[in-house]
Amino acid sequence: MSNKMPKQSVITGFLSQTKDRFHVYNEEKTLEEKFKMVSEINGMDGVEVVYPYEVCDPENLKNLLNKYQLNLAAINVNVKAEPEFKNGGLTSSNKAIRDKAVRFIKEAKDFAHKAGADKVTCCPLGDGYEFNFNCDYAQSWKYLIETFGEAASYRTEIPLFIEYKPAETRGRCFLDTASKTLCLLNDIKNQQLGITLDFGHSIMFDNENPAEAVSLIAESQFPLYIHINDNDGRWDWDLWTGSKHFLDYVEFLYYLQKYNYNDYMTSDTSPTRWDIKGTFEANTRMTRKIWHLLNQIDHDEFSRLIKGTDYLKTWHFIERNIFSLKD
């Protein structure tokens, strides 16, 4: 069980202007303005940046990282925004479109190599379907094996992490659970692949238990990378951690401790009506406090209770040690 607090980072796109169907939130910021803000957020020293729309010059990126004493958590490659990808890029029936999606990932790996990042993460949100008889499921799966397999085999020193999500931009994404994503990685049979587990994606629609998903991936042969946020279980609202699913988040961190997670925990949180800096400080503060709280409990006793059959005893332990409700 790890006592060391994981590093904290942020997807920098959320530090600037964001939009939903009806409103525009916050002001546009330059990349340097975003990095300056990150450097001022207590407990945060890393960034995840989006290629190719947010960053495309590795030298400029390295200069800004050095100036603000920040580290690269990951390069996030976008394979959904191009017009050709609106019906799916990696699973398109058109090979030229699939090739373009793979090229985006390969170019992101080239960029990561030049910029000094140790991973590329990709969330294939455009690859999925809406209706019955909307696609050939088996063929789509074969395309995922083909495209992600080819991308993973390129620049193997830069592993590719695949992020799953139940829905958006498609009504149902092909990769919607940790277990299905693990099935894909096992089918590809490439060790230079990993899984990006986004807490909000995991809990969305009561899709799965994030702590169980941590265990499932950690017990596999593939590495894990974490995005943190929260939502109401009905949609991916990207709220700050613990604001809706406090005990789920505690259990999530408990299992990250158990499996000695030591990579970045990256805030994938959207400050809309709330102060940007304050929102991300809530993430780092809540995570730090819960992590330190878990360091203070009797892990031998807690583990014994978890493995036992009397959950009332486990709940009493939670009352006293997690909620600090004294008798």
**How does pLDDT run across 58-94, given as a tens digit for each residue?**
999 999 999 999 999 999 999 998 999 999 999 999 9
Is residue 266 within 8 Å of 74, Cβ to Cβ? yes
Q: Which two tokens stand for residue 276?
A: 């940007």
Is residue 211 within 8 Å of 248, Cβ to Cβ? yes
| 201 Cβ contact list (under 8 Å, min separation 6) | 163, 164, 165, 166, 207, 227, 236
Q: Is the pLDDT score of 113 beyond 90?
A: yes
- Which whole number is the average pLDDT over 174-187? 98
pLDDT of residue 54: 96
pLDDT of residue 326: 83
- Which whole number is the average pLDDT over 228-244? 97
Q: Where are the domains of the chain?
A: 7-295, 297-327
pLDDT of residue 268: 98
Q: Is the pLDDT score of 327 beyond 90?
A: no
pLDDT of residue 1: 73
Mean pLDDT score of the chain, rounded to an integer? 97
Residue pLDDT, tens place only, 129-156? 999 999 999 999 999 999 999 999 999 9
Is residue 253 within 8 Å of 286, Cβ to Cβ? no
- Residue 141: helix, strand or coil by DSSP? helix
- Which whole number is the average pLDDT over 312-327? 95
Q: Is the pLDDT score of 2 beyond 80?
A: no
The dotted CATH code for 7-295 is 3.20.20.150
